[in-house]
Amino acid sequence: MKIQLQNQTIPLGPAYPLLLIAGPCAIENLDLCLYIADFMKKETEKRNIPYIFKASFDKANRSSISSFRGPGIEEGLRILETVRDRTGVPVISDIHLPSQADAAAEVLDMIQIPAFLCRQTDLLSAAARTGKPVNVKKGQFLAPWDMQNVISKLTQSGAREILLTERGASFGYNNLVVDFRSLPILSGFGHPVIFDATHSVQLPGGSGTQSSGQREFAPVLARSAVAAGADGIFIETHPEPEKALCDGANSLHLAALPALLDQLCAIKEILGGTRP
């Protein structure tokens, strides 16, 4: 399996390096995005890990109407384009409306569909028609085998390169749990499987007007996911998560990423993946 981005081809599978998708939850400003992208580029190049920078230009599914959402599509895409041009790193962001797909595709190397919207037919079709690779997060309310219908909507709308991301399942109120059986099930559909380590430790709505989280458990879930055969890991990270404007409680400290990447590479190598 491989993903064709604008300037590079990324092979994914048991014999290849782990893909890392990482960045802040939402775009706060250009300087922060450049800092994180440059830091992660250097760390992933040291480890021969393909890297995609992620940040949302709009977080439309916040708990409160007063929650920080990001700069919006116009300014957000301008920032992401600047990050890509200055660092040479591919960029991904999520769209929430079909009308956003074409504008996003002019800048993004990959389009992401949020978990809450993974069944929205018009949104999936619009993303597929752009011709860009599409990463779909499995809804917290879906069984892994239900993603076959999502895949069908994408492929019948023209998508050729699809990634499936596991990010936990609803477990009672304000809680998520990860069933690692999901990874081989999703992999069986013939598309690369990504594991979202930081949203899987989110406590949705756990702080009343915003979500909470347990970032201390994200590394163990990431290690477990690689051991279970994930082709890539998705991580939200910030230099100061306690001051992040969005999802700081489940974001990892940027300084902690190098050590975690070493662990993930070692696990991947044991399973037959390549490493420097």
Domain ranges of the chain: 2-270
pLDDT at position 185 is: 97
Distances in Å between the Cα of 97 and the Cα atoms of 49, 116, 212 are 32, 12, 26
Distances in Å between the Cα of 98 and the Cα atoms of 104, 105, 121, 173 are 10, 12, 9, 30
Q: 3-state DSSP helix/strand/coil percent for the chain, to nearest 5?
A: 40, 20, 40
CB 25 within 8 A of CB 241: no
pLDDT at position 209 is: 47
Instruction: Please tell me whether residue 9 adopts helix, strand or coil conformation.
Output: strand
Give the max Cα distance, the chain. Answer: 47
> Along the 276 residues of the chain, how does pLDDT read in single tens digits?
888 887 789 889 888 899 999 999 999 999 999 999 999 999 999 999 999 999 999 877 766 676 667 789 999 999 999 999 999 999 999 999 999 999 999 999 999 999 999 999 999 999 999 999 999 999 999 999 999 999 999 999 999 999 999 999 999 888 899 999 999 999 999 999 999 999 999 887 655 445 677 889 999 999 999 999 999 999 999 999 999 888 788 899 999 999 999 999 999 998 886 644
pLDDT at position 207 is: 53
CB 246 within 8 A of CB 209: no
Fold exhibited by the domain 2-270:
TIM Barrel (3.20.20)
Beta carbons within 10 angstroms of residue 143's beta carbon: 12
**In the numeric block, which tokens belong to residue 202?**
């989110």
Q: What is the pTM of this model?
A: 0.93
Closest Cα partner for 252 from 22, 20, 90, 19? 22
Instruction: Please tell me whether residue 241 adopts helix, strand or coil conformation.
Output: helix
CA distance 157 to 126: 8
